[in-house]
Structure 1
Amino acid sequence: MAEVVNVLVAFAVIVILFRWVTSSKESSSERSAVSTLGFRPRNVTEQMVDTVQGMFPDMPRDNIRYELLRTGNVDQTANKILERGYLDAPPQAYYTLYPRTQQPPPARPAPAPTGNSTATKLKSDSLIKRFHLEDKVNESTPVSEEEVAGKAVWEDTPEKREASLQERKAKMILAARQRMLAQQKKAGPSTQS
């Protein structure tokens, strides 16, 4: 019986030593990450974050990185976004280990320089140019509101329907331009008084 007790004590000592030796192999930073985050973070590369960010550009990078630290898998992270529509924000402890990432603002193309000084005129000119209505603007034939508001006739062929749609768009743009110019004329004398 004494031999059994000695074997059990020796076995317990060996188990304790083995756990102590294997736990000391973890680095202190890894232990602090585990204790701070509450889970063992997986290895996450910038390429993994960029992949998810490419699929979901409106998702914050820190949310993506935090979820990837938890799952370690791009597919699971993407599925979670698709299922829930969002990712949880990381806790404050996350930012002690991983400082906030600065996202560059989305690049916006600079507006083309024109001779127009007002923004509304710039927008209307760009629509006129986009739909190639410069010749119709110069004609000075007013577009009636009934023409714009009326229902379209269903044409027989797709080509005719496309042409009808383009004509309706042109009429709507020209009518909106006429209303804008009329409002500017009304506002002009009242500001001068």
Structure 2
Amino acid sequence: MNDSVSILVAVFLILVILRWMLGGSQSNQPHQQLGQRQTGRRPQHRVTPQMIEMVRAMFPDIPTAAIQADLQRTGSVETT
């Protein structure tokens, strides 16, 4: 009985240490994401008509609004 309690305590401690080493607690992540939302939106990149036309030349069937939104998000014609 005494050995099984020691084994259970050791396994529990090992699991807690591994979880701490591999990423910490999961409960902090929603608070960090909430803080990012409260501080404002991500800064949008400046989109020029030339950037939109470059993407439109490669993908003519994608709406201009979708191209502009993605360019504002990424800031890069290559990524879009």
* TM-score normalised to structure 1 length: 0.21
TM-score after normalising by structure 2: 0.49
- Please say which structure displays the higher CA radius of gyration: 1
- Higher relative contact order structure (alpha carbons within 8 Å, sequence separation ≥ 6): 2
